[in-house]
């Protein structure tokens, strides 16, 4: 539980209307709240259903916190209004984000793929930097508050929690995330709140998620990890390709390259993935190498020292199944393109993000609702998702700051934003 002082105050303040209520203490909600208070907006209440803030943020990047990417560009995002995404990200880009976290006391480093992490390599330290700053800034936090009902009133909003508490606010920010990984508090209730205020939703899909594939050719490979090039197809059409790790499982494939590909496969009618195990060696080179090896070793030993032994056995088995016999050309073909039809995903519970959400077309340039005045949305609840590599946290933070800046401008009598 956080901020007992606030709880004490809250009891006395039931019925009092707050200036701004932010629903959802995740990445976007925390940064939105902090930016508001740091810029002189005093009466900000951040409500979070969990017992603590930033539970998901603390688990990101395999616990290491891949906060953004040096190669940030809108090309890494999906949305119904990519131009708006671009403006919002440019308004608070990767440099601004890192400068901000450095101002809170963090240090950062990037890997060879441009993925940026705190030097602590602890995602929880990102949450801590924000949490401590929120405390210092005096943001009022109420944990254990699951917003289940929101209604529009003449001069603001009335909010009811599952736990029986009530709050009133002039302005509300929906920062509840999507419906991916519900064990972190994101079960999609935010969508119901948005819908109750007049919003619609685009179709929702799990993204950055493990893929289920036909398993006949990967039996016995569970747990084997390889670095390679993964291509995603719809029928014969290549949708994307990515280099990275692929991990075989009993249901299909996992790993960063797979997460990447999953974002492109949601609409595919005839989805498949194809693994290239040795992307830096040409077909001709491979054929030459295997031909030389075939002179002194048996067929069963042909892949030893080239790929993982179990993988080699699986390739050999597939070669016999599909061609009826061993051939060097067939072996090279499978090393270059080990295709697996995709039969599904592990679903929202295992996904890192939700593809789809409240359409951008229902929000103005500052992410204020066009359906309901003084309602703002930020983060994953909006129809924006990014590729694997730090792009989703960047969006959460950029959009949180965008909303905060819009409210600050409006409160200070600056530009209007209808
Ligand atoms: C395992 C995992 C690893 C990831 N790794 C990365 C990574 O390395 N890099 C990256 O860029 N992205 C990563 N992501 C994605 C990234 O974490 C999200 O896109 C991002 O956190 C979304 O921010 P948000 O503020 O919109 O929502 P969230 O961070 O999901 O926060 C929403 C908050 O709202 C609360 N909430 C929901 N409904 C209610 C309600 N009705 N009332 C009160 N509170 C409510 C939730 O409890 C939650 O705390 C990862 C996701 C997962 C699941």
- 273-282 pLDDT per residue, tens: 999 999 999 9
Phi and psi of 123, rounded to 5°?
A: -60, -35
Kindly state the DSSP code that residue 16 receives in the 8-state scheme: P
Q: Tell whether the torsion through CA atoms of 277, 281, 287 and 292 is positive or negative.
A: negative
Q: What is the pLDDT of residue 416?
A: 45
The residue whose CA has the least distance to atom 5 of ligand 1 is 60
**55 Cβ closer than 6 Å to some ligand 1 atom:** yes
User: Does the pLDDT at position 181 exceed 70?
Assistant: yes
Between the CA of 111 and the centroid of ligand 1 the distance, in Å, is 23
**Residues 168/157, Cβ–Cβ less than 8 Å:** yes
Cβ contacts of 349 within 8 Å, gap of 6 or more:
181, 182, 183
Tell me which of 9-23, 125-139, 155-169, 372-386 is least confident: 9-23
The answer to whether 181 and 332 have CB atoms below 8 angstroms apart is no
Asked if pLDDT for residue 61 goes beyond 90, the answer is yes
**Whether the predicted pLDDT of 223 surpasses 60:** yes
Q: How confident is the model at residue 16 (pLDDT cuts 50, 70, 90)?
A: confident
Q: How far is CA 178 from each of CA 186, 189, 251, 357, rounded to the nearest angstrom?
A: 6, 8, 25, 7
CB 78 within 8 A of CB 266: no
255: Cβ below 6 Å to ligand 1? no
pLDDT score for 9: 42
Mutation test residue for ligand 1: of 352, 386, 390, 401, the one with most atoms within 8 Å of CB: 352
Q: Does domain 4-205+352-411 have CATH number 3.90.870.10?
A: no
- pLDDT score for 97: 98
Q: What is the pLDDT of residue 3?
A: 44
User: Is the CB of residue 177 below 6 angstroms from any atom belonging to ligand 1?
Assistant: yes
Mean residue pLDDT of the chain comes to 94
For the chain, where do the domains classified as CATH 3.50.50.60 start and end?
A: 4-205+352-411
Over range 139-154, report the average pLDDT: 95
Residue 76 has pLDDT above 70, yes or no: yes
- In the prediction, which pLDDT does 13 show? 52
Nearest CA to ligand 1 atom 4: 60
Any ligand 1 atom below 6 A from CB of 61:
yes
Are 264 and 280 within 8 A, CB to CB? no
Identify the residue whose tokens are 């032994």. Answer: 309
- pTM score of the predicted model: 0.93
The torsion angles phi and psi of 199, rounded to 5 degrees, stand at -85, 160
3-state DSSP call for residue 178?
Answer: coil
> pLDDT tier at 414 (50, 70, 90 boundaries)?
low
User: Could you tell me if the CB of 179 is within 6 A of ligand 1?
Assistant: no
Q: How confident is the model at residue 294 (pLDDT cuts 50, 70, 90)?
A: very high
Ligand 1: residue of 32, 113, 263, 392 to mutate (most ligand atoms within 8 A of CB) is: 392
């Amino acid at each position: 539980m956080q901020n007992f002082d606030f709880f004490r105050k809250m009891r006395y303040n039931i019925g009092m209307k707050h200036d701004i209520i932010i629903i959802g203490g995740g990445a976007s909600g925390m940064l939105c709240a902090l930016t508001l208070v740091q810029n002189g907006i005093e009466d900000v209440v951040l409500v979070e259903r969990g017992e603590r803030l930033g539970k998901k943020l603390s688990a990101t990047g395999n616990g290491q916190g891949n906060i953004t990417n040096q190669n940030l560009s809108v090309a890494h995002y999906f949305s119904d209004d990519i131009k708006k995404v671009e403006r919002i990200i440019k308004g608070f880009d990767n440099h601004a984000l890192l400068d901000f976290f450095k101002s809170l006391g963090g240090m950062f480093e990037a890997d060879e793929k441009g993925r940026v992490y705190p030097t602590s390599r602890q995602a929880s330290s990102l949450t801590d930097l924000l949490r401590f700053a929120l405390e210092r800034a005096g943001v009022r936090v109420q944990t254990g508050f699951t917003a289940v009902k929101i209604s529009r009133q003449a001069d603001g909003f009335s909010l009811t929690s599952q736990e029986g508490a009530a709050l009133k606010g002039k302005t509300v920010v929906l920062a509840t995330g999507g419906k991916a990984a519900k064990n972190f508090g994101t079960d999609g209730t935010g969508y119901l709140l948005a819908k109750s205020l007049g919003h619609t939703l685009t179709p929702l899909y799990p993204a950055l998620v493990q893929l289920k594939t036909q398993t006949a050719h990967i039996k016995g490979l569970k747990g084997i990890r390889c670095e390679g090039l993964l291509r995603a197809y719809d029928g014969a059409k290549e949708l994307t390709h990515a280099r990275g790790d692929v991990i075989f499982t009993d249901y299909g494939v996992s790993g960063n390259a797979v997460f990447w590909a999953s974002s492109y496969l949601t609409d595919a009618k005839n989805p498949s993935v194809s693994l290239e195990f040795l992307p830096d060696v040409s077909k001709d080179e491979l054929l030459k190498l295997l031909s030389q090896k075939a002179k002194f070793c048996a067929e069963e030993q042909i892949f030893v020292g080239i790929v993982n032994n179990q993988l080699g056995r699986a390739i050999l088995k597939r070669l016999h199944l599909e061609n009826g016999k061993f051939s060097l050309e067939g072996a090279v073909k499978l090393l270059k393109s080990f295709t697996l039809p995709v039969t599904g995903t592990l679903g929202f519970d295992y996904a890192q993000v939700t593809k789809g959400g409240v359409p951008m077309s229902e929000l103005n340039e500052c992410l204020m609702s066009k359906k309901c005045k003084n309602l703002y949305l930020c983060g994953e609840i909006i129809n924006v998702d990014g590729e694997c590599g730090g792009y989703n946290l960047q969006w959460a933070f950029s959009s949180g700051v965008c909303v905060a800046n819009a409210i600050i401008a409006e409160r200070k009598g600056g530009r209007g934003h209808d």
